[in-house]
Amino acid sequence: MVTSITSFGRSGLYDWMIQRVTAVVLAVYTVFMIGYLGFGAELTYEAWTGLFEGTAMRIFTLLALLSFAAHVWIGMWSVSTDYIKPTVLRFVFQSATGLLTFIYVIWGIMILWGV
């Protein structure tokens, strides 16, 4: 049996709930962006920067970014514990996944907030 020391939540049910909530956040963000790109005015640099200058959009994007990170971590942790049996390979895979997810979150925050 694999211990849940590296899982995101406290239990499998908690992880399942987090993944479902993050999926809803990502779906809403995706629908919004597709609607904005498909049905909005002509997409120019000014329109694009204007969209992301608003605090509400930045917070919404940050929520989507953090939801993406949590969703990826839970999903990849579940897959790796199910299918990668050698402990060393699973540790390397989970470490690489965690590091890349952390880098993407920091990079996204830097881009989003202009840090």
Domain count, the chain: 1
Range of the domain at 50: 12-113
The pTM of this model reads: 0.84
CATH of the domain at 79: 1.20.1300.10
Element containing residue 100 per DSSP (H, E): helix 87-113
Q: What is the dihedral of CA 88, 93, 98, 100, to 10 degrees?
A: 140
pLDDT band for position 97 (cuts 50, 70, 90): very high
pLDDT at 89: 96
Using the Cα atoms of residue 77, residue 99, residue 28 and residue 56 in order, give the sign of their dihedral. Answer: positive
